[in-house]
Amino acid sequence: MVADAGHTPGHTDFDVLVLGAGSGGYACALRAAQLGLTVGLVEKDKVGGTCLHVGCIPTKALLHAAEVADSARDSERFGVKASLEGIDMAGVNAYKDGVVARLFKGLTGLVKGRGITVIEGAGTMTGPREVTVDGTAYTGAHLVLASGSYSRSLPGLEVDGERVLTSEHALRLEHVPSSVVVLGGGVIGSEFASVWRSFGADVTIVEALPRLVAAEDPASSKALERAFRKRGITFKTSTRFSSVERTSEGVAVTVEDAKGATSVIEAELLLVAVGRGPATDGLGYAEQGVAMERGFVLADERCRTNLEGVYAVGDIVPGLQLAHRGFQQGIFVAEEIAGLAPVPVEESAIPRVTYSHPEIASVGLDEETARSTYGDGAIETLTYDLGGNGKSQILQTQGFVKLVRRTDGPVVGVHMVGDRVGELVGEAQLIYAWEAHPDDVAPLVHAHPTQNEALGEAHLALAGKPLHAHG
């Protein structure tokens, strides 16, 4: 039921009460308000959450600064005489913080303009659809849990914010470290390794799994490892962290390889990038009967928890911990509450991007998963090398577009490596969600010269009519 518009400040009862104002929470609040529902939005810090303030946005600003540094360093390749005099971290941070500030100002304006009541303070679930903040109880006909995530560490690994850092600390560094050990070769670890190497630091990645970005297709991992090796980034895969000691110069990190042999890596800093955990501890979820597992809130495909009228979105729900997943789930829940019967967010259709140099972007199934799902003989793949793409040659980037399809059927996975391929994943998502066959995509006109043509060329080749593809 839609309540009267124009909720009066000071009221404590809402149509929709949202706990957490990150990507999932604020998207739910904005869409619910747009649909005429009264909304209370509880946030202990700033609207925008991890992504805007200490995650996606500031990290990608650093990555762009790193790209500028690389462009200056490599300018003679393009016939431009320039030199890289150094990295002014005060200037880099001012640029990064300026981007965040402008987006934050815009977001707070949107929230205010929609008539959403922002409740500042740490909220705790104290009833079936009740959240208490600083002694005041707020209720909603519907409660949306969107409390986000935090940077994980490992047992016995103490983060001090000085020599042993999380990504939040790394974003506030006021100097370029001379050397860094990055513990974790997933998305966050690979991105920071890429930034610091571009800024001139010596970087060593330690990854317990057999390859970097292990959630991606093995071909993408191999391409990133090859590029990192060429850039002088050292990485040790199938290697576990044992211990760290503070030294007069920084840290001494002891690691153990797959054969049980130990070695010590010395560096100025250690970045702990072993993933993110659900921020649910101490928020009253379990005490109020919310079904949970390993700290995550369990929800069905319609984001419903086991409690009537209580939903959960974003990083606290098992699955991909990506801002755009939470954002889309937040919109979905608002529309669900309003009775619009929206289509659920399909996990495999969510695009994934690692913004390293080079970038990795993908959507759908990797080759191994596709073969185990549909049968080894029911899958075929095609890899189109960016060497045949004019814009990629102009940018001087290497990589590929790899397509995974069901034999005589639709494309079920798209995997890309190369600078700026994250900008191509939108079309890749459409192809996957559309369940398009290569013959459906081949006739589409892709502008020349763009990297977007690589997607078109790959589908042409898979449709049996390769043009700029060898073989």
Q: Give the whole-angstrom CA distance, residue 160 versus residue 182.
A: 15
Residue with tokens 């300026």: 98
Residue 134 CA to its chain's centroid (Å): 32
Q: Give the whole-angstrom CA distance, residue 85 versus residue 151.
A: 34
Q: Give the whole-angstrom CA distance, residue 170 versus residue 96.
A: 13
Tokens of 380: 């075929």
Question: How would you list the strands of the sheet with 251-256, edge to edge?
Answer: 240-246, 251-256, 262-267
Q: What share of the chain is helix, strand, coil (3-state, %, to 5)?
A: 35, 25, 40
Instruction: Write the CB contacts of 403 (distance below 8 Å, at least 6 apart in sequence).
Output: 381, 382, 383, 384, 411, 413, 414, 415, 438, 458, 459, 462
Strand partners, 381: 404
The total of other beta-carbon atoms located within 10 Å of residue 263's CB is: 12
H-assigned helices in 271-366: 323-337
Residues with catalytic function: 448
Residue 270 has phi, psi (to 5 degrees) of -120, 120
Residue 286 has phi, psi (to 5 degrees) of -65, -40
Containing 381, the helix (H) or strand (E) segment is strand 379-385
